Amino acid sequence: MVQEGRSLMATATAAKKSAGTAAAKRRYKIWTMFILLFLGWAGYTLFGQLQQQKATYEKLTSVESQIEAAKATNEELKRQVERLNDPEYISQLATKEQGMVKQGEQQIFSD
């Protein structure tokens, strides 16, 4: 009888171990699935952010080049304003572009 009791206990212990290993396998599968889903989500998010960063960088370089062009135009306009405040430059423009001459001067045309 003692052997039967031991044999029943051994069978019950073996059943518990197999049930425990089945539960452990199920937990392992669930954990693995969770990790794979998380890694997939992280990869998708990273890829999207890299694309957005590239687009933002291209936009930034475009805006910076526009700023540089505007600065160059601004400097050119400042120089032109300075020249237009000079009476000598204004008389040169009037003679050259409009054909105006000072009183007592004579305009000479060349072909």
* Number of folded domains that form the chain: 1
With respect to residue 110, please indicate whether it lies within any of the assigned structural domains. no
- On whether residue 82 sits in a domain, the answer given is yes
pTM over 0.75: no
30 in any annotated domain: yes
Contact 46, 52 (CB under 8 A): no
| 29 within domain boundaries | yes
Tell me what pLDDT residue 49 has.
97
Q: Residue 3 has what pLDDT?
A: 58
Position 54 scores a pLDDT of: 97
On the question of pLDDT at 65 being above 80, the answer is yes
Domain for residue 76, yes or no? yes
Task: Look at residue 93 and tell me if it is in a domain.
Answer: yes
Reported as a pLDDT band with limits 50, 70 and 90, residue 107 is: confident
Q: DSSP assignment, residue 104?
A: T
Look at residue 74 and tell me if it is in a domain. Answer: yes
Least confident of 16-30, 46-60, 96-110: 96-110
Range of the domain at 86: 2-98
Nearest in space to 102 (alpha carbons), one of 92, 84, 86, 110: 92
